[in-house]
Amino acid sequence: MPDLLFEIGTEEMPANVVLPALDQMAQMMGEGLDGLRLSHGEIATYATPRRLAVLVSDTADRQPDREVEYKGPPAERAFTEDGDPTDAAFGFAKARGVDVGHLAVKETDNGVFVSVTVKEEGRPAVEVLPEMLTEIIAALDFPKTMRWGSLDVRFIRPIRWLVALLGSEVVPIQVAGLESSRVTWGHRALSPEPVELQDAADYLDALEQAYVIADHRLRRHTIIEQAQAIAAEVNGTAVLHDDIVNENHFLVEWPLCILGSFDQRYLELPDEVITTVMEKHQSYFPVAAESGALMAKFIVVANVAQDAADIVRAGNENVIGPRLADAEFYIQADTKITPEQSLDKLRRVTFLENLGTLYDKTTRLQVLAKWLCERIGADEAELATTQRAALLSKTDQISQMIGDTKLAGLQGTIGGYYALVAGEDRTVSQAIAEQYMPVAADSALPVTMAGALLAVADKIDNLASSFFVGAEPSGTKDPMGLRRQAHGIIAICMDRRLRFSLDDIVSLDMGLLPDLPEAQTPDIAKATARLNDFMAARIENFLQAAGVSYDIVRAVLATCWDDAVETIERAEALAGIRAEDGEFEAAVDTATRPANIVRPTDLPADVQVDAELFVEPIEQRLWDAHRECAEHVVAALSGRCDYLAAWEALKSLREPIDDYFIQVMVNVEDEQLRTNRLAVMRELDRLYLRFADFTQIVQ
């Protein structure tokens, strides 16, 4: 069976759009082939800056024949009472290309209809593929698209050629004034001639002959190998961050890693500054010595042959020097005043519209940091460090270094450096540097407690401020990265076991925010509730990512989840109990019985259990068991929670509850007796809810 090749050739695309486009193409190709009833093998994707391609192995060259049953008009309209066909029957038969005598009467759930089964011959793949391939181009979704010339076509970049081959046969499509062919194109400089493919299976080899490594996975591996090898030649190690490697391998088609150098004097700059200049300005790989310190070397990934290496090296060495000189100048200018002297300037920098200035934000951060320190029992030194770091945390936002948008990622890091230069304590400096951590889901967390507390306070304030003004995430839109920041709060809290009330700190923060114009005054209670729901969803995502089943997660979140650490630990403990306790299902069954009886009722909130109204001995026995169990559960879930002890205490209720339901009817006619027994059920349900809502557990 032949391979199917579909390639879209374009002008150079931005590196960040390529992989998402390939994922879309692979999905649409699979769904399209399945919809056309064309069997196929593996779907592989390939890409360079100038092409997006899908290669499908073992694709059927024609559709299989099939029998299709078509439903016609109601039988009463298709035939007379005497059984003669009507015009409706003749019309339906003609439309399906059969004689009226082939029509059958079929009874369905919706009535009696005529139908006919027709054998349809499968069509050749080259006849049915063009429409599907054309639709793939039109359906590709990019962050931004462009039009070119007078064409009414939008794409990420102008389309320059199309290849559509089923084996050796061209699949004819027309898009953007272009017709598909068997001709692709090689490297723009090293092999600028057209490359004619005899068969789809020749794709990768033919392009490699034309100095194009079309397999982006191989191209990425090649870059890493070359970078590591040339760094080793100078006894160094290439610093290969994934985002920079990924960017580079979608900037070139024939990679060549070249080692360059810069003036040794720039090594006096902080390593983070040198690395950021190289990576963000130039997409270079830094080179580190065995000690871990940076060397005065860099690696550039070029799209040239080996004989051009010296020219490329010289050109890039001429570029990196001025870039590092700019950073050197920024530091010299920024450190002429201390961070504390910069505080007043923060009064002129807006934080968020209608939410005051960055100075106002630092004031809130000090309050939040103090509140957190009190909750975790921090000592005086830690409190002083955290509050000092909070005060100075945003002073780097007015620096020339952060004013360079390519270096804005140094925020916090450079602020910590400036604080250290100004003579601030090293612990304060480090906390300032750690305030934005983690910067991504799998990034490093703050090393110091002060840094962790400041990072949590900063993220809490960003969340509270955004929800306060209604700038919360919606759908896939999250311009302020609030989902990432919420995940960061949870990750830091789990790492440091920071136990505090999310609701309390959010309420505190919202109370510190400035009043909005009267027409925009928010309902703080509703804003807080929305933020709490948002945080609950992030805790749910965190637990599911950790492998906790969805019903355990929901059972725990259906109860009090205000303390993120306690909630996650409780869910993980319950998941472990489920896996190890053979009596888990039976205990859950017992736990749900009181809930199923009392929750559907409208029992008044102020009704209390009256032991004087107990009639049967089992009622008193159950009530005594409940009170004893409650003491154990409360003790087990206080302080350092012992979830296993709490579970064992709850399990002790199984026998008295089961006996109770054998001997006692709750919903008796006597209203006073019924109300008292429902009150007992409510107290039992509330006790179970201290651990989880067991009605959410799927048995």
Give the pLDDT confidence of 25-40 residue by residue, as tens digits. 999 999 999 999 999 9
Q: Structural domain boundaries of the chain?
A: 4-62+124-209, 66-120, 216-334, 340-557, 581-696
First to last CA, the chain: 47
Q: How far apart are CA 479 and CA 477, in angstroms?
A: 6
CATH code that applies to domain 581-696: 1.10.730
Is the C-alpha dihedral spanning 653, 656, 660, 661 positive or negative? positive
CATH code that applies to domain 340-557: 1.10.3210
Identify the pLDDT of residue 131: 95
Q: How far apart are CA 471 and CA 351, in angstroms?
A: 13
Tokens 């008295």 identify what position?
Answer: 656
Q: Rounded mean pLDDT of the chain? A: 93
Binned at pLDDT 50, 70 and 90, residue 420 comes out as very high
Q: How far apart are CA 154 and CA 148, in angstroms?
A: 8
Q: Are the beta carbons of 326 and 439 closer than 8 angstroms?
A: no
CB proximity list for 61: less than 8 A, separation 6 or greater: 1, 2, 124, 125, 126, 166, 167
Binned at pLDDT 50, 70 and 90, residue 640 comes out as confident
Identify the pLDDT of residue 645: 96
Rounded mean pLDDT, 145-170: 93
Mapped onto helix, strand or coil, the DSSP state of residue 490 is helix
How deeply is 606 buried, as exposed, middle or buried, from its count of CB atoms within 10 A (0-12, 13-18, 19+)? exposed
Which residues, listed in sequence order, are joined to residue 334 by a DSSP beta bridge? none
Is the C-alpha dihedral spanning 553, 559, 562, 568 positive or negative? negative
Mapped onto helix, strand or coil, the DSSP state of residue 623 is helix
> How many residues are present in the chain?
699
Q: Please tell me whether the overall predicted TM-score, pTM, comes out greater than 0.85 for this model.
A: no
Give the pLDDT confidence of 610-634 residue by residue, as tens digits. 999 999 999 999 999 999 999 999 9
Binned at pLDDT 50, 70 and 90, residue 519 comes out as low
Give the pLDDT confidence of 338-372 residue by residue, as tens digits. 999 999 999 999 998 888 899 999 999 999 999 99
Identify the pLDDT of residue 520: 66
Identity (one letter) of the amino acid at 320?
Answer: I
- For residue 459, what are its two tokens? 């993220």
Mapped onto helix, strand or coil, the DSSP state of residue 170 is strand
- For residue 231, what are its two tokens? 């760094």
Phi then psi dihedrals of residue 74, to 5 deg: -55, 145
Give the pLDDT confidence of 524-583 residue by residue, as tens digits. 888 888 999 999 999 999 999 999 999 999 999 999 888 999 999 999 999 999 999 999
Q: Are the beta carbons of 207 and 190 closer than 8 angstroms?
A: no
pLDDT of 196 strictly over 90: yes
Identify the pLDDT of residue 278: 96
Query: Who has greater pLDDT, 441 or 155?
Result: 155
- For residue 651, what are its two tokens? 């399990």
Rounded mean pLDDT, 465-483: 86
Q: CA dihedral in degrees (133, 138, 142, 144; nearest 10)?
A: 150
CA 146 to chain centre: 27
Binned at pLDDT 50, 70 and 90, residue 110 comes out as confident
Q: Kindly report the number of other CB atoms within 10 A of residue 512's CB atom.
A: 17
